Amino acid sequence: MSRADARSAKFEKYREQTLFDRLDAEDQVCIWEIVGRYSLSFQELRQLCEGGLDLEMWGEKSLHSWWQEAEEELEIRGQARKEKLLKAFRAWLGELRSAPKRYPETGLGKPESVSLERVVKHSERKVIGMCPVASEETVCCNLQTIDAVENCGFGCSYCTIQTFYGQSVSFDPELPEKLLAIQLDSERFYHIGTGQSSDALMWGNQYGLLDGLCDFARQRPNVLLEFKTKSKNVAYFLKNEVPANLFLSWSLNTPTIIDNEEHFTADLEERLGAARRVADAGLKVAFHFHPIVYYEGWEEEYARVIERVVRDFSVEEVLFVSLGTVTFIKPVTRAIRERGWQSKILQMELVPGAKGKLTYPDLVKERLFELAYGEFSSWHGEVFFYLCMEPAPFWESTFGRVYVTNEEFELDMIGHMRAKLDV
């Protein structure tokens, strides 16, 4: 077997384990030519494929354009040439990731809307469990979650849900009965969320979803039930009697991130307008700034959003504000690349965080949290603030305090919420 044939055989062996087939035609040809000239390890091939997809998603110079230019400038030959080219390619990608990403003024291209088949089926899964991102390595509020619906159609580029449920959204017709069968300690209070396996309000009251959840809250006065959303769909709560122990929370972001990375959600004005209507109706609200994204102009944009929230809502109306950043498990990064939408969410320096999850470097995170919390200075002491999915050092640097145990955090948060909900 010739050297070229051996390289071709090794490439075919590795190909299916990489994202080669997701690349555009010119990048595929480029990599095929590289394989023909140099001996590539599996890791080198994988890095080239992922790098090419990233550049395509980010709207940066393509892999084939960069490689052609780099080869023309390099005079050395042989395997040393390959190693120098790969090193330069990795360095260039590193520069693009470490600097604040720049979104084009015209925005990234919008993908086609997500088409999900609606399925009504019995599920053997437990309807309630601990928050899926809870970790012993982070300061956690011990949130429990109800998986009322499985899957979401809002198409946020960074969402972990995309790795779990495929192309259908599932509704359980037995949800009301399962909710009433949940065993809880009547002597304690629980904070339970409904927006972890899907957006809490995207589907409205389809199949009696909201009816069942409201009945659950009504019959369990020791449950503080949170509906977390990026929707404007609040009509149900304005037309129906709502239990006092139920509240709605909105995940907020800047117009740049909403327009480019949260594709089919309500826009910022719609979310804030929906929250305002709910608060005017006497319900309490909360806000999640998660993920705060590091990009060119982030300081000014997040400051403006927070200024708007502080202006439009009183401290009496708001239960809490949470802060968090971009955090990925590795399967999500692959899912983002496989989907191939225009997105800059992976144009970031990825470092290991708690439980091996990928996130921003510590110094970047500290800047994000410091600015966000500082902009809320007029609410300090009046609204409960916390960090989501972050270890103790970030609590110290942001708030100057940290809870000794997650149970202490849980009790303090629930105490603040009960006082404002008057339950």
Give the amino acid at 106.
Answer: T
Tokens of 318: 């708001």
The per-residue pLDDT for range 288-314, each reduced to its tens digit, is 999 999 999 999 999 999 999 999 999
Residue pair 57/34 in contact (Cβ under 8 Å)? The answer is: no
Segment 360-406, tens digit of pLDDT: 999 999 999 999 999 999 999 999 999 998 999 999 999 999 999 99
Report the pLDDT value the prediction gives residue 112, as an integer from 0 to 100. 81
Strand order in the sheet with 327-328: 327-328, 358-359, 351-352
- Using CB atoms within 10 Å of the CB of residue 177, give its burial: 0 to 12 exposed, 13 to 18 middle, 19+ buried: exposed
Note whether 135 and 355 are within 8 A (CB). yes
In order of their start, the domains of the chain are: 3-98 (no CATH), 117-421 (3.80.30.30)
pTM to 2 decimal places? 0.93
What DSSP letter does each residue of 44-91 carry, written as one string? HHHHHHHHHHHHHHHT---HHHHHHHHHHH----SHHHHHHHHHHHHH
Q: What is the mean pLDDT of the chain?
A: 92
